[in-house]
């Protein structure tokens, strides 16, 4: 993004159109792992690549939003209801405070507070042009590249699958052609349930407010129950 209007979150990173780019670089189709011959001569698959991350229609989770180079570690929530979803990081008593939403086929971002960003006049709520919803987001996630299984160590160790999804500008033709990275998301989901998200690293132009261009969120809880999604009063309705 050219401003915080399209900041943060893998939601903005994978949208691609937020940067008015015509090119989104998908990953290659998943290739099956080697097959092993059995003693009786039959050939069966050893295993297959896990399913890529998907965002459920209804969920609620809480954790932390972390910007390491700024020393920021604030509360974070992410909730979904009927396909709409909302992220909230920080609050009025924290050094950062913002919300991102997918709401009625529209993508919004609103920053209330960020270091070195004037509070007055209040920043506008950015309604990102174009049609965008959970289905488009999940379709992009299907192009994610599988990095491998990992264990996130913490108060409770979590067995996760690590995936990477990116947005690239420039040529999509293989070879020595001009292209440049726009955004990158590393996504860690439960190995038994790829709709249960535990951690995301986002890096790229959508994080221009951060000097190092990278921000994290980690989830302490993630439940498949409908959450609360509220469009702020400052944001224009989807039909306007």
Which domains, ranges and CATH numbers included, belong to the chain? 4-24+51-221 (2.50.20)
- Cβ neighbours for 83, distance < 8 A, ≥ 6 positions apart: 57, 102, 133, 134, 135
Query: Best-predicted range by mean pLDDT among 117-126, 170-179, 185-194?
Result: 185-194
Q: Cis ω on the peptide bond leading into residue 118 (within 30° of 0)?
A: no
Reference 234, options 126, 91, 125, 139; nearest CA is: 125
Determine the distance from the C-alpha atom of residue 197 to the mean position of all C-alpha atoms in its chain, rounded to a whole number.
10
CA dihedral over 192, 223, 72, 4, signed as positive or negative: positive
Whether residue 165 is predicted with pLDDT greater than 90 in this model: the reply is yes
Over the stretch 68-77, which tens digit does the pLDDT of each residue have?
Answer: 999 999 999 9
111 close to 91: Cβ distance less than 8 angstroms: no
* Distances in whole angstroms, Cα of residue 180 to Cα of each of 29, 54, 161, 203: 22, 26, 27, 13
**Average confidence score pLDDT of the chain:** 83
pLDDT at res. 67: 96
Q: What pTM does this model have?
A: 0.79
Burial of 192 (0-12, 13-18, 19+ CB in 10 A): exposed
- Neighbouring C-beta atoms of residue 238, cutoff 10 Å: 13
- Neighbouring C-beta atoms of residue 29, cutoff 10 Å: 8
Over the stretch 191-216, which tens digit does the pLDDT of each residue have?
Answer: 999 999 999 999 988 788 898 889 99
* Percentage, residues of the chain above pLDDT 70: 80
Helices (H), the chain: 9-15, 134-141
pLDDT at res. 43: 52
182 close to 22: Cβ distance less than 8 angstroms: no
* Distances in whole angstroms, Cα of residue 83 to Cα of each of 71, 77, 109, 196: 33, 16, 17, 15
Average pLDDT rounded to a whole number, residues 138-166: 96
pLDDT at res. 3: 39
Burial of 181 (0-12, 13-18, 19+ CB in 10 A): middle
Say how far apart CA 231 and CA 79 lie, in whole Å.
13
């Amino acid at each position: 993004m050219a401003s915080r209007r399209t900041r943060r979150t893998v939601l903005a990173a994978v949208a691609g159109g937020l940067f008015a780019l015509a090119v989104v670089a998908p990953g290659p189709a998943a290739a099956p792992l080697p097959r092993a011959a059995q003693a009786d001569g039959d050939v069966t698959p050893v295993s297959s690549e896990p399913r890529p991350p998907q965002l459920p229609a209804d969920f609620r989770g809480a954790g932390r939003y972390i910007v390491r180079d700024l020393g920021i570690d604030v509360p974070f929530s992410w909730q979904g209801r009927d396909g709409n979803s909302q992220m909230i990081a920080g609050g009025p008593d924290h050094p950062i405070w913002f919300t991102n939403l997918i709401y009625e086929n529209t993508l919004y971002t609103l920053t209330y507070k960020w270091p070195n960003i004037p509070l007055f006049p209040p920043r506008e709520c950015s309604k990102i042009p174009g049609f965008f919803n959970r289905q488009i987001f999940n379709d992009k996630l299907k192009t994610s590249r599988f990095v491998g299984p990992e264990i996130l160590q913490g108060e409770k160790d979590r067995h996760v699958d690590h995936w990477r999804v990116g947005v690239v500008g420039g040529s999509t033709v293989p070879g020595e052609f001009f292209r440049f990275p726009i955004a990158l998301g590393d996504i860690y989901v439960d190995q038994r349930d790829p709709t249960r998200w535990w951690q995301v690293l986002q890096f790229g132009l959508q994080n221009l407010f951060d000097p190092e261009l990278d921000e994290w969120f980690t989830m302490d809880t993630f439940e498949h129950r409908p959450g609360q999604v509220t469009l702020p009063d400052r944001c224009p309705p989807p039909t306007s």
